Amino acid sequence: MEVGLIGAGNMARALARGWAEPLLFTDGGSGRARALAAEVGGEVASSNAELAERCRLVVLCHKPAQTEQVAGEIGDRTLMLISVLAGVTLERLRAAYPAAEVVRVMPNTAVEVRQGVICLASEGDARTDGGGAEGGDLAALARSRFERVGKVVDVPERLMELATAISGVAPAYLALVAEAQVEAAVGHRVPLELARQLVAGGLAGSAALLAARGMDTLGVRTEVASPGGVTVRGLAALESAGVRRAFDEAMDAVVGKQGVSSDGEDGS
Ligand SMILES: NC(=O)c1ccc[n+]([C@@H]2O[C@H](COP(=O)([O-])OP(=O)(O)OC[C@H]3O[C@@H](n4cnc5c(N)ncnc54)[C@H](OP(=O)(O)O)[C@@H]3O)[C@@H](O)[C@H]2O)c1
C-alpha cells in the first residue's frame, strides 16, 4: 500500500473518491475508515503507527486540533507527509514531525469529482532538510497526485488561510446560493426537481463561461443584463439585499478582520 489517509471524514472521502485507488485508512473509532475502504478499495490500519509504517506517503486528514496527538502516535519516523489541515502551519507540522518531510495543501471537496481547487504552499516553503527525498520532490509528488483531482494552484504559505476562505469554503457557499435560488423558485411554484435542474445547469454553465472569459465578471453580467430587462431588476434586488456585504462578512468571519485567522483550530 503506497498511500495512507489518517482520518476518514469528509475530506478524506472526497480525496479517496477522486483518486479512486486502494488506500490505507484510519479513523478515530467511528468505523468510517472501514466504510471508505469498502467503497473505494484498500484497507484499514489498526493504528496510525501501523499506517505510517506501511505507507510511503501519508496524508493527514484528521482535524487540526488533533495534530500533536496523531504525531505522538506516529513517533519519530522518516515520512513523506501531506497535510490538508486548515490553519496548521508548516512550522507547526515540522515541530510535530521532526523527522518527516512535509508539504501543505488546501483542497476543496470538489476533488471528489476531480474538479477541485488545491492550493499548494509554495515549494520554497517545503522542508528540504528532512529524511528521504528532498522537499522539492515531495512537493512534485503532491502536485502530480493532486493534479489528478483538480487544479493545483501555488500559494505562498502566508496566504493559505485566505485561500481556504475562498476555494476551501466554495462548495459550501455555492451550495447555499444554489439552495436559496431553488427555494425562491419553489416559492414561485416551480416544481422542486425542475428548479434543481435549472439551478444546477445555471451554476455549471456559468462557471465554465466565467473561466473561458478569464473571469470577466462584468462582461458576463452585462451580456445578460440588457438595459431595462429583467436581469437588471434581479441584480439590483441582490445588490440592495446586500450580497456583496454578505460575502465580505463571510470572509471576515473565516479569517478575521486582519486577513489571517489567529489559530485555525476550527478547521474548515
Ligand atoms: N471538509 C472540507 O471541506 C475541508 C476542506 C479543506 C481542508 N479540510 C481539512 O480536512 C481535515 C478533515 O476535515 P473533515 O471535514 O474531513 O473532518 P471530519 O469529517 O470531522 O473528519 C475528521 C476525521 O478524522 C478522524 N480522526 C479523529 N481523530 C483521529 C485519530 N486520532 N486518528 C485518526 N483519525 C482520527 C475522524 O475519525 P472518526 O470518523 O472516528 O470521527 C474523522 O474520520 C481538517 O483538518 C480540515 O481542516 C477540510
Q: How far is the CA of 257 from the centre of ligand 1 (A)?
A: 26
Q: How many residues does this entry show for the chain?
A: 268
Across the strands, what pairs with 60? 6, 83
Q: How far is the CA of 10 from the centre of ligand 1 (A)?
A: 7
Q: What pLDDT, on a 0 to 100 scale, did the predictor assign at position 268?
A: 56
Q: Is it true that domain 3-156 has CATH number 3.40.50.720? A: yes
Q: What pLDDT, on a 0 to 100 scale, did the predictor assign at position 135?
A: 52
Beta strands 101-106; 116-121: pairing state = antiparallel
pTM, entire model:
0.92
What is the best residue among 62, 108, 162 to mutate for testing ligand 1's pocket, by most ligand atoms within 8 Å of CB? 62
Spans in the chain with pLDDT lower than 70: 1, 122-136, 258-268
Alpha-carbon distance 58 to 253, whole Å?
Answer: 31
Query: Which cell goes with 262?
Result: 489567529
Question: Which amino acid, residue 211?
Answer: A
Instruction: Work out which ligand 1 atom sits closest to the CA atom of 30.
Output: 40
Q: Whose CA is nearest to atom 33 of ligand 1?
A: 27
How open is the CA angle 40-45-50, to the nearest 5 degrees?
140
Instruction: Work out which ligand 1 atom sits closest to the CA atom of 13.
Output: 16
Q: Whose CA is nearest to atom 25 of ligand 1?
A: 7
Domain borders along the chain are: 3-156, 170-255
Instruction: Work out which ligand 1 atom sits closest to the CA atom of 108.
Output: 5
Beta strands 116-121; 150-155: pairing state = parallel
User: Which stretches does DSSP call E strand in 107-223?
Assistant: 116-121, 150-155
What is the best residue among 13, 15, 27, 50 to mutate for testing ligand 1's pocket, by most ligand atoms within 8 Å of CB? 27
Comparing CA positions, the residue from 41, 16, 30 lying closest to residue 107 is 16
Instruction: Find the residues whose C-beta lies inside 6 A of ligand 1.
Output: 6-12, 26-30, 32, 48, 61-64, 66, 69-70, 84-86, 106-109, 168, 267-268
With b for 16 or more beta-carbon neighbours within 10 A and e for fewer, the 209-235 pattern comes to eeeeeeeeeeeeeeeebeeeeeeeeee
Q: How far is the CA of 230 from the centre of ligand 1 (A)?
A: 44
Q: What pLDDT, on a 0 to 100 scale, did the predictor assign at position 54?
A: 95
Alpha-carbon distance 212 to 41, whole Å?
Answer: 36
The torsion defined by the Cα of 127, 161, 150 and 4, in degrees rounded to 10, comes to: 50
Regarding the domain delimited by 170-255, which CATH topology (the fold level of the hierarchy) does it fall under? ProC C-terminal domain-like fold (1.10.3730)
Comparing CA positions, the residue from 145, 151, 119 lying closest to residue 57 is 145
Q: How far is the CA of 241 from the centre of ligand 1 (A)?
A: 35
- Is residue 27 within 8 A of residue 61, CB to CB? The reply is no
Name every residue whose Cβ is closer than 8 Å to that of residue 123 and which is 6 or more positions away in sequence: 135, 136, 139, 154
For the stretch 113-159, pLDDT in tens is 999 999 999 655 444 444 433 356 899 999 999 999 999 999 999 99
